[in-house]
Amino acid sequence: MTLPLSVLDLAPVPSGGSSAESVRRTVDLAQLAERLGYVRLWYAEHHGMPSVASAAPEVLIAHAAAHTRTIRIGSGGVMLPNHAPLRVAEAFRTLSALHPGRIDLGLGRAPGSDANASRALRAVDGDHFAELLAELLTWCGRNELPGGHPMRGLRAMPGDAPLPPIWLLGSSGASARMAGQAGMGYSFASHFSAAPAAPAFDAYRSAFVPSAEFAEPHAILGVSVICADSEGEAERLASGMALAWVRIRSGVFAPLPSPEEAARHVYSAAERRLVDDFRSLVVIGTQASVRQQLLAKASDCAASELMIVCSVHSHEARLRGYELLAEAMID
């Protein structure tokens, strides 16, 4: 079984490193992913997190697309409640004009931030996501405002550049049926959600109506993977991510810790349970074991594509992990 393989990049910031350097290094992964045969690369939107530098996905998309030739580049995603829909439509029409046929627009309903960052962004409640999506489509001519509406003639510019294919992102299944009914793609974030993907994918497929962008349903499964040349090295790399997970779940936000920092940390019983939660979500191992685990996860929910996120402390180990995955999974 061979599945399309893609990349989700959060521009991770390691302890002792620089967030600016993490942003600049996104090109390394984009070019590597293209050479290795990954189908697409998406950037997530997060705010106010010292461990994540991907605060402005549309800027990273433009930069990566300018330094690659064939791989699709997109957002995974833009958190629509943080933005005016017209602004999102114009940003992605501009990207579409600059890089025709290579841009994806992934949209999420979560804030991608804590309460303070949401207030600073003037974010609206995620319950308004359907309204915001309808408004975005209106500015691109897919929906129509009623006659006499003062903004009826407004269109997102550049007007002759298409809005890229839209993917709705989810972690609980709430957006699955909406994505299907709208004829959009759907991506499920199993890299941080313990909810099973299969019910969401089933709801998406059962509701799917073909569209100009999607003739048939396409369901992407996001998976966190740590792949290394040996089981011991994979476990060592995973230890740093486990400590990062414990810190975040405990309300402590800091750059990604190294395996050495993790080895020095004394875990409480409650923290050990958090580590167990982390390990239940992550695929860890060598090429052979990771391939087996990924194919099983894809089979369980009939995923159309796997999107891999690997956020480890070492930039070199992270790139090596994607190389090993490509060798194991891409024909």
Give the per-residue pLDDT at 73: 98
Report in angstroms the alpha-carbon separations of 295 from 219, 283, 331: 15, 11, 14
What is this structure's pTM?
A: 0.95
Give the per-residue pLDDT at 117: 81
CA–CA separation, 93 and 102 (whole Å): 12
Evaluate whether the domain defined by 5-225+285-329 bears CATH number 3.20.20.30.
yes
CB 224 within 8 A of CB 306: no
CA angle 67, 69, 72 (to 5 degrees): 95
Give the per-residue pLDDT at 112: 66
Give the per-residue pLDDT at 1: 47
Low-confidence ranges of the chain (pLDDT < 50): 1
CA–CA separation, 197 and 330 (whole Å): 23
112-149 per-position pLDDT tens digit: 677 888 888 887 888 889 999 999 999 888 887 767 67
Give the per-residue pLDDT at 313: 97
Give the per-residue pLDDT at 148: 66
Give the per-residue pLDDT at 111: 73
Give the per-residue pLDDT at 120: 86
CA angle 75, 143, 180 (to 5 degrees): 55
Give the per-residue pLDDT at 179: 97
Q: Domain residues of the chain, as ranges?
A: 5-225+285-329
